[in-house]
C-alpha cells in the first residue's frame, strides 16, 4: 500500500500527540513505505535550501546522493529568480560540474572563506546526533567547507532507536 505524504505527516502528528505514543520507528516505517529513498532525499534536500538559503548568501555545497538534490533546488531557485546573488563553494568535482550545469555561480575558499551556510548529507545520524560521513574523496573538502560556514545543515537518514 502506498500512502501519500500528507497521510504520513498527519499520522506522524497524531502518533506523537496521542496518549498511546507510537515509537519513532513506526513513523519512520510509515514514511519509508510511502516514499522511495530518492523521494525522501529530494524532499530533505529541497527543504534545506528552502529553509536556510536566502538571496545574497555564500553557500557551501556538499557532495553525495542527498546533497545532489540541495544543489538541484538551489539551481532551480536561481533560474526562477526566487534567489539572487548567490555564490557557492563546491566540495567536489562532481558537485562543481552539477552546479555549473545549473548555472550556479561558483567561488573558492581562497576568495570567500566565510560562508553563510553549508548543506551536506550524512550517511547516518544516531540518537546522540553523531554523524557518519562517507569516506569518499570529498570528505576532507566537505569538512573544510563546513568549518568555514556560519551554519551547517545536515541532511540525511536518522538511524536511532
User: CA distances (Å), 7 to each of 28, 41, 103, 128, in order?
Assistant: 13, 19, 36, 28
Cell, residue 155? 541532511
Which residue numbers are catalytic?
A: 142
Q: Please choose, from the candidates 68, 66, 107, 70, the residue with its C-alpha nearest in 3D space to the C-alpha of residue 85.
A: 107
CB atoms within 10 A of CB 134: 14
* Distance (Å, whole) CA 59 – CA 48: 12
Amino acid at each position: 500500500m502506498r500512502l501519500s505524504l500528507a497521510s504520513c505527516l498527519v499520522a506522524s502528528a497524531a502518533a506523537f500527540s496521542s496518549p498511546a505514543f507510537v515509537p519513532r520507528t513506526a513513523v519512520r516505517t510509515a514514511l519509508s513505505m510511502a516514499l522511495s529513498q530518492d523521494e525522501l532525499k529530494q524532499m530533505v534536500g529541497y527543504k534545506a535550501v528552502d529553509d536556510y538559503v536566502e538571496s545574497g548568501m555564500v553557500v557551501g555545497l556538499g557532495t553525495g546522493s542527498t546533497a545532489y538534490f540541495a544543489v538541484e533546488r538551489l539551481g532551480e531557485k536561481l533560474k526562477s529568480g526566487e534567489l539572487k546573488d548567490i555564490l557557492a563553494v563546491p566540495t567536489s568535482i562532481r558537485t562543481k560540474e552539477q552546479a555549473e550545469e545549473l548555472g550556479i555561480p561558483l567561488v573558492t575558499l581562497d576568495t570567500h572563506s566565510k560562508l553563510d551556510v553549508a548543506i551536506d548529507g550524512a550517511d547516518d545520524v544516531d540518537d546522540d546526533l553523531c554523524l557518519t560521513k562517507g569516506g569518499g574523496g570529498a570528505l576532507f573538502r566537505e569538512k573544510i567547507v563546513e568549518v568555514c560556514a556560519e551554519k551547517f545543515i545536515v541532511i540525511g537518514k536518522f538511524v536511532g532507536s
